[in-house]
């Protein structure tokens, strides 16, 4: 079995945002030379997510509205977590519901995604560098 590890770093200029990272994940799979196996992609920070869904701007706007309804950023005083002096209590909750990681099968050296499936980085407390881990295992 072969292994390949790589990190991506994102610094979003805004507090929240979604980035389609499918090209970077596909590139890592190509660089690994692994034809049959699995790739794990996970956010390395507890206020960011990696998830799979459609690259459709209306859906992303729906996510933004839905997440703000569930866990609004303001007022920051509503979150016990923010008593630590932070203001990102909402971002931890948003990360929880959008997930930490995805696993995608690799078949014939390519990501074996379903129709319309794309891999996204979800940022909920941006404006600083944050990392995503890509770990590939297979033959
Ligand atoms: Zn925090």
Separation of 88 CA from ligand 1 center, angstroms?
A: 5
Of the chain, the percentage scoring pLDDT greater than 90 comes to 100
Separation of 95 CA from ligand 1 center, angstroms?
A: 11
Output phi, psi for 87, to 5 deg. Answer: -125, 25
Overall fold of domain 2-138: Jelly Rolls (2.60.120)
Predicted TM-score (pTM) of the model is: 0.96
Cα–Cα dist 41/38, whole Å? 10
Q: Show me where the domains of the chain are located.
A: 2-138
Q: How far is CA 61 from CA 13, 35, 98, in A?
A: 17, 36, 14
pLDDT tens-place string over residues 36-83? 999 999 999 999 999 999 999 999 999 999 999 999 999 999 999 999
Separation of 31 CA from ligand 1 center, angstroms?
A: 35
Residues around ion ligand 1, judged by CB within 5 A, are 86, 88
Of the chain, the percentage scoring pLDDT greater than 70 comes to 100
Separation of 22 CA from ligand 1 center, angstroms?
A: 27
Mean pLDDT for the chain?
A: 98
Question: Are 109 and 34 contacting, i.e. CB atoms less than 8 angstroms apart?
Answer: yes
pLDDT tens-place string over residues 71-98? 999 999 999 999 999 999 999 999 999 9
């Amino acid at each position: 079995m072969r292994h390949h590890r790589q990190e991506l770093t994102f610094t979003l200029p805004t507090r929240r945002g979604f980035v389609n990272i499918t090209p970077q994940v596909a590139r890592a799979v190509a660089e690994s030379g692994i034809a049959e196996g699995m790739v794990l992609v996970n956010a390395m920070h507890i206020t960011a997510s990696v998830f799979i869904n459609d690259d459709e701007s209306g859906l992303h706007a729906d996510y933004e509205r839905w997440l703000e309804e569930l866990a609004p950023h303001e007022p920051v005083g509503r979150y016990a977590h923010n008593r630590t002096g932070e203001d990102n209590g909402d971002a931890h909750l948003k990360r929880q519901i959008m997930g930490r990681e995805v696993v995608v099968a690799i078949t014939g050296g390519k990501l074996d995604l379903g129709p319309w499936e794309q891999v996204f980085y979800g940022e909920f407390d941006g404006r600083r560098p944050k990392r995503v881990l890509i770990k590939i295992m297979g033959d």
